[in-house]
Amino acid sequence: MEVYLDNAASTKVDKRVLAKFNNIAETLYGNPSSEHMAGILAREEIEKAKNIIGKKINCKSEEVFFTNGATMSNNVLIQGMLRNQPETVFITSVVEHNDIIRLYDWLPYAKQLINVNKNGIIDISELSRHISKCSRLNIPCLVSIQMANSETGIIQPIKLISKIVHEYNKGYLHVDATQFIPYYPIDVQDFRIDAMSMSGQKINGLKGTGLLYIRNSIQNKITPIIFGEQGLIGGTPSTPLIASLGEAFNIIEYNSSTLENKRDSLLYFIRDIGGKVIGKIGKNRLPNNIFCRFPGIKGLDLVNLLNDVNIYIGTGSACSTDSDEPSHVALAYGLSSEEALECVRFTICEETTEQEIEYTKRMLKSIISLLK
């Protein structure tokens, strides 16, 4: 039996998404920038994908831009806005995805990291103080937050964060919705989001597909970081990839309660055999996520031993697995470096079966007993 429990890193491509990609790749081969019929048909297919996504997140088609993933989307938005308005203060949190943390470290602009509480929720009072300071100085601020953490699955109170950010007329909110969007609907108007990133590979789409939503009213505040004839994002758009992302959005179904039941069966078992779950268990956690540690057992050792019995889990962000350093997210929860290196992540999906969960329990219990 093979059990894939690393869906926060990447999901299996849906057959309908793959069929869409293959069909468009075979039939619409024109450059969408061309003025002849082959180009027009390709352009129309891209517009169809924009309309599907626009309806799904409640935005206009001209507010949808396509990228190769959330990392590119994040960089286009954040670097583009800060280059356009260098006086802007960049505000983010200590538990963001590795690409944001590395970007934060590199940026030569005014910036601020916000701490989190013991449950991984952003310190709202600290955020409010920094927004107020920007307001007093009359300088813009860009706040960038993951809607749901890629390691712990903890969901941030985005509506409250948005309210605080937009109390200041020069405050802008960017969210990375990559982990959130597979499980819950997003209305960018209701959340009052100015910009949003996501990756197709987390919604049963193809790798190399991504989305950047930018509200019309702030598009003139962004300088391109990749120049070309396409304006904000240079390069020839890939019609097959874009069409496949539209299809991935089209078939999203939200069944969080079903996922929670499967997840909780494994979660409570992990606790019963001595595992320590990181972060609060409840409605502010993604329904498929278990981020935990087994005291005295290195996370990488557990990953490798489970791999030997065809069970695939992660140690945290898939973008930082080449590092021997402890997860900065785990450290932000107050864990020691040794404890942080014990952390592993189980993330199930709709296709995870009861038999797979039971097999995982048996193998996990056996391996934990062996390692203790």
Phi, psi (5° rounding) for residue 346?
-105, 125
DSSP 307-345: HHTTEE-BSS-GGGTT--SPPHHHHHTT--HHHHTTEEE
User: Where does the pLDDT of residue 7 fall: very low under 50, low under 70, confident under 90, or very high at 90 and above?
Assistant: very high
- At 227 the pLDDT is 77
Tokens linked to 46: 């891209």
- Residue 59: active-site member: no
What angle is formed at CA 248 by the lines to CA 244 and CA 251, rounded to 5 degrees?
A: 135
Alpha helices in the chain (DSSP H): 15-27, 37-57, 70-84, 98-106, 124-137, 158-165, 188-191, 239-250, 256-272, 299-308, 328-332, 337-340, 354-371
| pLDDT 10s digits, 82-107 | 999 999 999 999 999 999 999 999 99
pLDDT at 145 over 90: yes
Indicate whether this model's pTM tops 0.85.
Answer: yes
- At 90 the pLDDT is 98
User: Where does the pLDDT of residue 357 fall: very low under 50, low under 70, confident under 90, or very high at 90 and above?
Assistant: very high
| pLDDT 10s digits, 199-223 | 999 999 999 999 999 999 999 999 9
| pLDDT 10s digits, 162-176 | 999 999 999 999 999
Higher pLDDT among residues 226 and 78, named by residue: 78
pLDDT at 318 over 60: no
Does an H or E element contain 291, and which? strand 289-293
Q: What is the DSSP letter of 220?
A: G
- At 37 the pLDDT is 97
- At 230 the pLDDT is 57
- At 231 the pLDDT is 75
In whole angstroms, how far apart are CA 339 and each of 57, 65, 272, 275, 343? 39, 40, 19, 12, 7
User: Where does the pLDDT of residue 322 fall: very low under 50, low under 70, confident under 90, or very high at 90 and above?
Assistant: low
- At 226 the pLDDT is 83
Mean pLDDT of 149-170: 97
pLDDT, the chain, mean: 95
Mean pLDDT of 219-243: 87
Least confident of 89-103, 227-241, 343-357: 227-241
Least confident of 113-117, 156-160, 233-237: 233-237
| pLDDT 10s digits, 12-55 | 999 999 999 999 999 999 999 999 999 999 999 999 999 999 99
| pLDDT 10s digits, 125-134 | 999 999 999 9
From 59, 134, 141, 319, the catalytic residue: 319
- At 282 the pLDDT is 85
Domains assigned to the chain: 3-11+254-371 (3.90.1150.10), 15-250 (3.40.640.10)
| pLDDT 10s digits, 251-298 | 999 878 889 999 999 999 999 999 999 998 888 999 999 999 999 999
CA separation for the pair 320, 102 (Å, rounded): 11
What proportion of the chain, given as a percentage, has pLDDT over 90? Answer: 90
pLDDT at 229 over 60: no
CA separation for the pair 15, 38 (Å, rounded): 26
Core vs surface per residue 267-280: b (16+ CB within 10 A) or e: bebbeeeebebbbe
pLDDT at 235 over 70: yes
Q: Which residues contact 137 (CB under 8 A, 6 or more apart)?
A: none
